[in-house]
Amino acid sequence: MKIATLQRRPQARPHLQRLQSGCTNGLGTDDGQGGIRFRGAAISTIPPATSAQIFATSLATASSTAAQPSTRGKHTPSSPRNLPAEPRFANVTTTLAQGAAAIQRYRADGLRSDLDSAVHIYWNLHLILMPHHPDYFPCRYQLCILLSERFDLWGTESDVDKAVELGEELSLATTGVALKDRVDYLRACARAYALRFDGTTQASDASRAVDLVEEAESLPVDGSAVNRDLLIWHGRALFYLYEAKGDFRRLQESIRFLTCTLSELDDDSESRSLCLLFLSEAHRSRQDKLNERTEVAKILSYAETAVNLATPHNPRRPRYLNALAIALQRHSLTHHLQEPTSLHRAIAVAQEAVQCVREGDRRYTALLTTTSNGLRYRYHLGGDYNDINDCVQIQEKSLRLRSEHQKGYNAAVYGLCLSLIYRFRSNGSLNDIDRSIAILQERCAALAANMPMHAQFLNVLSQGFMERWYYFNTISDLQKALDLCKEVVTTISGGGYLANVGVCYYELYLHNSNAEDLENAIDWMTKADGRRESIYDLPEHLLAYGKAYVARAKLLKQAMDWNEGVKFLRSALDHSPPGHKRRAQTLMALGNALLARYRAVQDRTCLEESRQLLTDCLENVASGLEKTKCRLLLADTVAEHGPAFGALTYPLDLLALLESAASDSEALSADRFTAALKWASLAQENQHLEEAYRAFAAAVSLLPHVAWLGYGRDVRLQELRARAGTLAVDAAAAAIAVGRYDRALELLESGRGIFWRQLLQLRTEVDELQDVSPKVAEELQDVGRALEADVPTSGALENEHLMQRHRRLAERWEQLVTAVRKLEGFEDFLQATKFSQLSEAAKEGPVVIINGSTTRVDALILTPDHRNYHCALPGMQARLAIQLAEFLRHALSVPKDQRGLAFMEYAVRSVLDRLWHTVVSPIRAALNSIYTDGLPHRIWLLPTGPFCLLPIHAAGFCSVPSSGIGQDMVCSYTATLGALIRARKIPRGEHGGPRLLAISQSSTPGQEPLVCSNEEMQIVKNIAPHDTVTCIYGEEATVTKICDELLQAEWVHLSCHGNSNPENPLLSCFRFFDGPLSLSDISKLRLPHADFAFLSACHTARPAGELPDESLHLAAALQLAGFKSILATQWGIADKDAPVVTRDVYQYMFTSGHGNFRSSAEALHHAVAHLKRRGLPAIRWVPFVHLGI
């Protein structure tokens, strides 16, 4: 192209002055070296002298010599004399020659400096040429092409914006412009818009690009005369419109147009490589939409050819390599799973591409994404943690370098979330799974339902909920996963997606044993069979398919189901070669299926093959979390068949297997806990007593991690109910069996009262820590308070973020505790309490611990001299204690008519008599032998297991009037040794009479009236100093007011209805005028002045039947809140007895006139003796108990 030499006119001089002063219309400024300094990078490619020569000579020449006019876009002014003359360039030909040479060098070597030189030259020219000049539009056209090219490769945003601006000007050029040039102008503008969409994903840019190419297509021009390079961008614009709006027709049009264009391009041209790249990417999108495996061959062929055509110095070579890496990944996942050569090559190709570009280059993040995807795929096959960890780190870096509106952002987010899910499978980090779910929910909400990636996001989100279901076993997560999987298949009907629905139904069947769910699982998996577009997740789906058929075979006893189940499991094994992360699980499933089939049809070959498969399983156990799961499955199988199975030396190898599983620090706490329980049970069954003790100790140490602080309170109680059971008492029994009595107390303290101890730890005193590390102490308190606030009941979608925040707080709490333990002098901070500290509980009198295990029942007597005596209770068994507790519970629930009361009295007396002979009498004899000079004045009882539900304090009173442990000693209860120690350590302020809060709720809506409640209040007011008593009656007794008053009270007297809720102990409550004050509410209170509480209400000290060792009753909640001494009731009391006990108790406590809460136990002792002297039935006086000091 030649531009005519221009005559110099004075009015044109400002253009040159602006050029020489470095004004660049916003794209750059003079860098002092003859080039232009652009934002982000200096482009100094023309030597200073050359630049001066090119443009300064035009100022010195005044001749009218003209160069040959250009034929591209030439237009002739109708009256040149009426138009302003333009500056005249003597050496414009030289300038253009240099520009052409720079472009030629760039095309040959791909050096950015050559492209920058060409941009520099045409940029300066376009600033000078006037609109009526014949080469005005050709210059702008070339500059538009060059700026678009530079943006496409290096991503300078100002380049594409200027290219669009120039393109729009070109698109309006009509006068004097040849049609073939106008077509090129329109396509150049379309290319600029398409590239800008590629960078920003603004749908309007894609739409404008398509409008322009369609306008160009409508012009009557000979196709051979137009720029074929720009035809490629016609097809690309259609592809971008599909990406922007999800219109599949546009994708089909793009592929057709690009395919036609490819046939017209030279075999070795750069444009051909670019067209092949675009075709490969378009077919990738079509495969994503249609799930057709036939697309993979095209994707790979196009990408491979594009790489082969590109020279080593081609600036687009990294992009071609990236497309090839993606194609190889897809090829591996659809064809060569068992020999993943393609996948290894894909990772190598992607890494090569990354090495070819700088971090700031536009395509850098896309190359990172491809590399990370390859690592994730390889992890999925081999399970190497380093692969998935590197993958997550690369993807996080990629996202940091992207903006939300940049193309590829959604794909990068998708990849990161999937990788976080996989890493969670390996390391069990809840932060990974929670973070993945949170990000996915946000992206699903942000994307329209018809957008190409919306269904993929939903699919990965369903996987996230499934993984969390496996971890937490929370049914709401499984239901969410199922709903999402169903939504996905309404958009994408690929076999893998259909199989996911089946997997969800199968898990639902395992949860609720509903045969309909099992049928649904098999139906959906049947739909998926034969429609799989990828074998990436095929082994997992075949495994689930086989398990579902085996489950139905066990249910319906049909031979066809056995055959189908084994067939699919064998197929799953064929697709899980040695080294595959799922191979061990598949071996296990097939081995178990064959065993079950052997039992059903007595086929001996099934037994022999099963032995071999399960033995091979040990050699194929995957690393990470899967290892312990496989060990547990194998242990279950071997344990079920015992010595006859012969796969392992029974039981020694099995014990070693379970011990290794329980000790695996990389495994999930829940799996380790399960392994420890199985280990303990097997050791105990086979009389390996020392090993049983070690196994139980391991299980107890894991229990707080199973009932983790990161769960809400409801979930923690569910975990304790499901897992704790009799663990603590069984562990103590195992320690007693090997003569470790002190260790037995430590295990009881660690394994009981988990719920309360966790809350107490959140309130731990940090005064000493404050002196050493004030920042850590302050944060520990802040995090503790936040965790105490709890989370809503799990399951509601709107509470997802709150639950995730709660888990992050729990993780931070653990980090802080670990940091504190590294400080000198704080090594035992919040560690399990040692016997040397626990023995302080007996400082003021002996503590009798009654341990009720399924294997044995014992008593341990802890004395003030720090000694721990063992007392065998051979006449009592845990089974008998459970029967007594159930008998008593039943008796207390009968109607309170004359016949019912008689039965209750009989039951209570029978239980007390049995307890005396089997429990209390041997303990009293032991105490007599320890205290030869006379029994102590005070004694504390610490019952465990079913004994928590029995009135040990009253045993013996009925049948033998002079007997009973409470006959000669004042008897109190304590839930744990630690509770007793803490109560004595809490300081009490020095003052006169106690501030006493008395509450009477004689008439509660929905409850029977308490006729004697106001009488109790009057008694309290008459005995206690008048100026120290605050009374609240009836309608004034609201929950808010009571909680406010409790903050200042030292003593509290509650006369109201109390309700125990065995199903959900957290809902046990006191009933007040405006509603309940629940156990959960009380446990959140911190009452700094609290000393003594008299709970004149029913059921305030009765534990929940399923969790007796957790002491989940109202009295225990008040102990947590701060009360040191509490009078409570084990069951319902007679309304008319309350004033009698109230008078006797307060008269005794105010004997000195000031009130001493430390005498409350003696006061109750005398009050109960008064009731007995009146000849009242046992059911009237037995329920009154004292807790604390």
Structure tokens given for 1014: 């106001």
For residues 507 and 513, give the distance between their C-alpha atoms in angstroms, rounded to a whole number.
Answer: 10
Looking at residue 95, what is its pLDDT? 78
44 CB-side CA count, 13 A:
12
Instruction: State the chain's maximal CA–CA distance in angstroms.
Output: 138
Chain-centre distance for alpha carbon 340: 31
pLDDT at 575: 82
**φ, ψ of residue 273 in degrees (nearest 5):** -60, -40
User: Does the pLDDT of residue 962 top 50, yes or no?
Assistant: yes
Read off the tokens for 671. 């799996």
Question: Taking the complete model, does pTM exceed 0.85, yes or no?
Answer: no
The stretch 844-862 carries a mean pLDDT of 96
Q: What is the DSSP letter of 823?
A: S
The Cα–Cα gap between 1029 and 1031 comes to 6
pLDDT above 90: residue 268: no
Question: Which range is least confidently modeled, 410-414, 606-610, 985-989?
Answer: 985-989
Residue 143 confidence (pLDDT): 95
pLDDT digits (tens, 9 = 90+) for 995-1019: 999 999 988 887 888 889 999 999 9
Do 422 and 384 touch, CB atoms closer than 8 A? no
Q: How far is CA 127 from CA 43, 135, 166, in A?
A: 18, 12, 12
Cβ neighbourhood burial of 884 (10 Å; 0-12, 13-18, 19+): buried
Flag whether pLDDT at 85 surpasses 50: no
- Please give the helix or strand (H or E) that residue 334 lies within, else none: helix 317-335
pLDDT value for 84: 39
In this structure, what token pair is assigned to residue 970?
Answer: 């004042």
- CB contact at 8 A, 478 and 506: no
How confident is residue 1153, by pLDDT bands cut at 50, 70 and 90?
Answer: confident
Q: Provide the pLDDT for residue 941.
A: 97
Distance from C-alpha of 807 to C-alpha of 798, rounded to nearest angstrom: 16
Contact yes or no for 683/855 (Cβ under 8 A): no
pLDDT of residue 625: 63
pLDDT of residue 86: 43
Q: How much is the pLDDT for 147?
A: 96
Q: Helix, strand or coil for residue 88?
A: coil
Overall average pLDDT of the 888-908 stretch: 93
pLDDT tens column, 1101-1116: 988 767 888 889 999 9
Give the pLDDT confidence score for residue 642 in this predicted structure: 60
337 against 559, higher pLDDT: 559
**Percent of the chain scoring above 90 in pLDDT:** 48
Q: For residue 310, with 0-12 CB atoms within 10 Å meaning exposed, 13-18 middle and 19 or more buried, which class applies?
A: buried
Per-residue pLDDT of 25-53, as tens digits, reads 333 333 333 332 222 232 323 333 333 33
Instruction: Give the whole-angstrom CA distance, residue 524 versus residue 505.
Output: 9
Q: Which residue has the higher pLDDT, 193 or 128?
A: 193
Which stretches within 513-558 are classed as H helix? 515-528, 538-556
Asked if the model's pLDDT at residue 460 lies above 60, the reply is yes
- The highest-confidence range among 169-183, 446-460, 851-865, 1091-1105, by mean pLDDT, is 851-865
The arithmetic mean of pLDDT across residues 484-503, rounded, is 88
Higher local confidence (pLDDT), 1167 or 405: 1167
Residue pair 524/566 in contact (Cβ under 8 Å)? The answer is no
Rg (CA), the chain: 41
Residue 427: predicted pLDDT: 82
Q: Which of 37-51, 99-113, 389-403, 520-534 has the lowest mean pLDDT?
A: 37-51
Q: List, as one string, the DSSP characters of 854-873.
A: SS-EEEEEE-TTS-EEEEE-
Per-residue pLDDT at 614 exceeds 80: no
pLDDT of residue 902: 94
* Residue 853 pLDDT exceeds 90: yes
pLDDT > 70? residue 464: yes
Using the predicted structure, report yes or no on whether residue 59 has a pLDDT greater than 70: no
The 3-class SS string of 346-393 reads: HHHHHHHHHHCCCCCCCCHHHHHHHHHHHHHHHHHHHCCHHHHHHHHH
pLDDT at residue 224, rounded to an integer: 61
SS3 of residue 697 by DSSP: helix
Predicted confidence (pLDDT) at residue 880 exceeds the cutoff of 50: yes
Q: Residue 610: which residues within 8 A CB-CB, separation 6 or more? A: 591, 592, 594, 595, 598
Asked if 991 and 1023 count as a contact pair (C-beta separation under 8 A), the reply is: no
Q: What are phi and psi of 750, to 5 degrees?
A: -80, -30
| pLDDT over 60 at 71, yes or no | no
Q: 996 or 128: which carries more pLDDT confidence?
A: 996
Residue 1108 makes CB contacts below 8 A (sequence gap 6+) with 944, 945, 946, 948, 949
pLDDT above 70 (res 179): yes
Q: Report whether pLDDT(23) > 50.
A: no
Separation between Cα atoms, residue 591 and residue 879, nearest integer Å: 37
Whether the CB-CB separation of 417 and 439 falls below 8 Å is answered with: yes
Which tokens belong to 773?
């590390």
* Overall average pLDDT of the 157-173 stretch: 93
What stretch of H or E contains 468? helix 454-472
**Res. 792 pLDDT band, cuts 50 70 90:** low
- Which pLDDT score, from 0 to 100, does residue 790 have? 65
Q: Which pLDDT score is estimated for 37?
A: 27
Q: What angle do CA 247, 250, 252 make, to 5 degrees?
A: 115
Q: What local confidence, expressed as pLDDT, does residue 958 receive?
A: 59
d(CA 112, CA 44): 11
**pLDDT tens per residue across span 314-326:** 888 999 999 999 9
Rounded to whole angstroms, how far apart are CA atoms 292 and 532?
9
Percentage above 70 pLDDT, the chain: 86
Question: Residue 6's pLDDT is what?
Answer: 27
Give the range among 710-719, 1014-1023, 1108-1117 with minimum mean pLDDT. Answer: 710-719
500, two tokens: 């996911």
Strands 847-852 and 1125-1129: unpaired
H runs (alpha helix) in 946-1012: 977-985
pLDDT tier at 529, thresholds 50, 70, 90: confident
Long-range contacts of 250-253 (CB under 8 A, 24+ apart): 250/210, 251/282, 251/285, 251/286, 251/289, 252/286
Question: Which span out of 61-65, 895-899, 1153-1157 was modeled with the highest average pLDDT?
Answer: 895-899
- H helices present in 172-227, as ranges: 179-200, 203-218
**Bridge partners (DSSP) listed for residue 1032:** 999
Q: What is the pLDDT of residue 8?
A: 30
- Interhelix angle 136-154/157-171, nearest 10 degrees: 150
pLDDT at 602 over 90: no
Band (697; pLDDT cuts 50, 70, 90): very high
Q: What is the pLDDT of residue 165?
A: 96
Q: Which helix (H) or strand (E) holds 12?
A: none
β-partners of residue 998 are 1031, 1053
Q: Fill in the DSSP letter of residue 928.
A: H
Q: What are the distances in angstroms from CA 121 to CA 17, 304, 594, 1121?
A: 16, 36, 78, 81
Map tokens 């996989």 to a residue. 422
Q: What is the pLDDT of residue 223?
A: 63
* Confidence grade of residue 798 (pLDDT, cut at 50, 70, 90): low
- Nearest CA-CA partner of 1129 in 1121, 1117, 1138, 1120: 1138
Instruction: Tell me which of 129-133, 651-655, 671-675 is least confident.
Output: 651-655
Q: What pLDDT does 1003 receive?
A: 86
Helix (H) or strand (E) holding 1126: strand 1125-1129
